Structure 1
Amino acid sequence: MSFIRSGSVAALLALAVLPSTSVAAEGDRVGFASRPRQAEIKAAFPAGATVTGEVEVECVVADKGALAECKVLSEYPMNRGFGDAALGLSDRYKAKLKDEAGASSVGRKISYSLDFLAPGDANPDWMRKPTAEEMAGVFPVAAVKAGVDGRASIRCRVTVEGFLDRCKVLSETPPGMGFGPAALALSPQFRMSPKIRGGQKVESEISLPIAWAGIADGGFAPLGKKRLIIDPPWKSAPSLAQVEAAWPKGAEGLDTGQAAIRCRLKGDGGLQSCDVISEIPKGKGFGKAAEALAEHFVVSLAPGDAKVANLVQVDVPVRFRAPGAGGRQLTKPRWIQMAQAEAVALAFPQAARKAGVRNGLGVVSCMVTAEGRLTDCQAVREDPVGLDFAASAMIVAGTMRMNPWTTEGEPVDAQRIRLPIRFEDAPEEQQAEETPAAPAAPAKP
């Protein structure tokens, strides 16, 4: 269900990135009440060091939240003074006296990490945060009904383009209300500057704490009966060629861009009446390009869904890369149709069965189509060798289909995926039980 702001919302968006300081604790999470300022970290840069240093320190929470018994867990590079510099800042930290569950923090372990940035280096920083309306749009329905606020923490990879992907939930409060999935739903609309080391853009990981506030005070009101869905199972989605063809003329000289659109769902699963809800950078045409791609999206609807399709809105993120730029990666396919046990059993190689081999592995490399199907499969390896397990894996791969549009907003087609298929043959007596008896011969006249 979608929600809009209503009345006064004290702190709808309380979102911060922690690229240089992270928190870890045993049991329920222990947080910091205060940390050193960036100016203090910069002033502690070791004399004579010329590169960025990264340190992780573990301490014990003492009285009044002070840190004691601190020790360096990791230091890179070593012997440049970064460990001592990090320990020297331990008195600038104060832990909260109670954890998220309300238990005392005193006597428990807590850790922090610090990056001492060399001149020219940088950690990821915000280019775009979600708006209050976007935060409200994914507020969990269960939390609205319960009248509670909430927060979540997610961990994501920041690519060299500043995109966030491979996000996963670290924590959510209160648990089971849906704030973790809501935080993941926002991630395609984020954009950050990438991490810089030695003058080069590099991938990195960040933790993002996201807080929603205002619902307990009536800060949200439902928008009729409309429901908002994010990352649906797509029946079809734009191909790589179509996305590249939509690259806007106004984006000349840029390498990447992104946009998100919110559309109404038609009875056949298509999209209509789309509006741009985010665009980075603005004014370069990426919003209109995303709207132009909307006609190629069709959601897979279950029987009976068409009756309520007009009550559904869909958020669609779109990442644009300059035509021919490359850089796409397919690391975690989301399967709409997995290999069925029956299909795997039927494909068990006869050569292995004749040899008395009851289990094996076939690994194939396949190309993904615009519909998420696997084609042009090639044998990579098999175990045991020479018993057709790789060939059987190709047959099974042909029955599978993945979501043709990634959570982050890119097509999956024209990419290769390595797929392992494990086979296990049923015992002969079980095969006899499962095999239907042949029909009796008709009586002779």
Structure 2
Amino acid sequence: MLAQALALMFAASAPPDPAAGPVPPATVSPLEVLKPPGKPPPPDAKLDMPTSSDDADTRFVFWPATAYQARYDGRVTLRCLIDTHGLAEHCDVASESPTGHGFGRAALEMRPTLKLTPPQGPDGPVSRVVNVAVQFTAPEFQHIGGMMLGRPLPMTAVTLLDFPQWSAAPTFDDLAAAYPAKADGGDGYVVLRCVVLHSGEVHRCGVIKEDPEQREFGAAALSLSSKFRVAASLTKPPQHSELWVNIPIRFPTRQELARRAVTAPTWVDSFDARHVPKLFPPEAVASGVTSGRGVARCVVGPDGALTDCRPEPGSPDGLGFSEAAVKLASAMKMNLWSADAEPVEGGVIDIPIRLNLKPDAD
């Protein structure tokens, strides 16, 4: 299949701000942004960006148009949070050379297509920050006898919507219904590239990543595309250009799918931290306890809000910390598609919240 290069314009949305609300420690691993080092850190994985349509294994790649036309080489190191499924939930540019030509931005747009062997801990896969080296090698086309050897990448200028907020998305039931028979119970991963209409609906979707192939995961993902709808506030791109979005879809094993556990939410709304001291449990105050951890177990509603929250054992238990966590969790709301490419509606999530009677010393 011929490769197509995407000449990037500014995306229509920005990455979610980690400081916008509390981050439940059991469900989200925030990525610390460090100052880029003087030289690229050693890579844990490498990605070579294709330069020619003769690279038949690549369906879509991202190249800065001016750099491609000027035949500039580029090298980028991404610092990515790789989850237990091997997916890059978040990436930052750790180093870029040369700067000012768009190589870092182009490398970041490949994030959804990254699927690595997940890091291993003593008890199995773990989430970890790794370095991914992305190499952009300038094309070399030879003209012999009036003919050019090698086929340049066809360029398409696009506005790509990063970190979309969804007003509608497939549910766990939808994912289970679309699960392909040829998969034999195994898991799969697909990335769709779609055009976003002003209504928020997506169309003209194509598969740009499928792992493994020949198991019909791509066809299953395409059958789900009509259930996605982008929030109306994000459907008007700058410069009146065509708006595209990448949609990662992970098909877990049937056993995992049946659990309906939400483990990597993207929060879009949270509680007001100023209300936390008012909810500190009086039972704890009477016992002389000034800090505790409560846990609320909730079901995700159709709009991403947390519903049916119930207290789970806290620490220390029996002093009202989990009951306070339930009240706080009821104000939280998540995006309708998770950071690990799964549904959230109808899923179950545990929300651990620490409450302190006095602010931390630091």
TM-score (norm 2): 0.63
* Equivalent residue, structure 1, for 2:269: 337
Cα deviation digits, residues 225-264 of structure 1 (max 9, x gap): x311243122232111111110123x24250122211111
Q: Deviations over 1:377-420 (max 9, x none)?
A: 23245678777443333222111112221233212342322321
User: Does residue 1:153 correspond to 2:78, yes or no?
Assistant: yes
| 2:335 paired residue among 383, 399, 403 | 403
CA distance in 1, matches of 2:237, 2:132: 37
Q: What is the aligned counterpart of 2:224 among 293, 310, 319?
A: 293
Alpha-carbon shift at residue 180 of structure 1 (Å): 5.4
Relative distance call for 1:391 and 1:307 in structure 2 (3 A) is same
Unmatched runs of 5 consecutive residues or more in structure 2: 8-35, 142-151
CA contact (8 A) 2:41 2:77 kept: no
Tell me the alpha carbon deviations over residues 192-215 of structure 1, each in whole angstroms, 9 at most, x when there is no partner. 567899xxx953766431122339
> How far apart in 2 are the matches of 1:261 and 1:309?
22
Matched, 1:29 2:39: yes
C-alpha distance after superposition, 1:23-50 (max 9, x if no partner): xxx9533789xxxxxxxxxxxxxxxxxx
- Aligned with residue 355 of structure 2, among 422, 425, 428: 422
| 2:192–2:205 contact (8 Å) kept in structure 1 | yes
Is 257-266 or 186-195 further displaced after alignment? 186-195
SS at match of 1:412: coil
Give the counterpart of 1:367 among 277, 294, 298: 298
Whether contact under 8 Å (2:296, 2:350) holds in the other structure is yes
Change (3 A) 1:312 1:170: closer
Cα deviation for residue 352 of structure 1 reads: 7.5
Gaps of 5+ in 1: 6-25, 33-111, 114-123, 427-445
Structure 2 counterpart of 1:61: none
Aligned position for 2:252: 321
Distance 1:244 1:310, change over 3 A: farther
Cα shift at 1:183: 4.0
Q: In the alignment, which of 57, 80, 96 is matched to residue 173 of structure 1?
A: 96
Number of aligned residue pairs: give it.
303
1:342 Cα deviation (Å)? Answer: 5.3
Whole-Å separation in 2 of the counterparts to 1:27 and 1:186: 22
* SS of corresponding position for 1:302: helix
Larger Rg: 1
Residue 209 of structure 1 corresponds to which residue in structure 2? 133
How far apart, CA to CA, are the structure 1 residues paired with 2:188 and 2:77? Answer: 27
The equivalent residue for 1:99 is none
Contact 1:154-1:180 within 8 A present in 2 as well: no
Residue by residue over 1:265-306, the C-alpha shift from the partner in whole angstroms, topping out at 9 and shown as x without a partner, is 122322122122222233332122111111221222328848
Determine if the alignment matches structure 1 residue 233 to structure 2 residue 152: no
Asked if 2 retains the 8 angstrom alpha-carbon contact of 1:364 and 1:393, the reply is: yes
Q: TM-score, normalised by structure 1?
A: 0.53
Say if 1:125 and 1:30 are closer, same or farther in 2 by CA, change over 3 A. Answer: closer
Quote the residue 1:134 is aligned against: 60
Contact 2:5–2:153, Cα closer than 8 Å, also in 1: yes
How much is the aligned-residue C-alpha RMSD, in angstroms?
5.0
Q: Which sits farther off after the overlay, 239-248 or 226-235? A: 226-235
Distance 1:231 1:305 in 2: 15
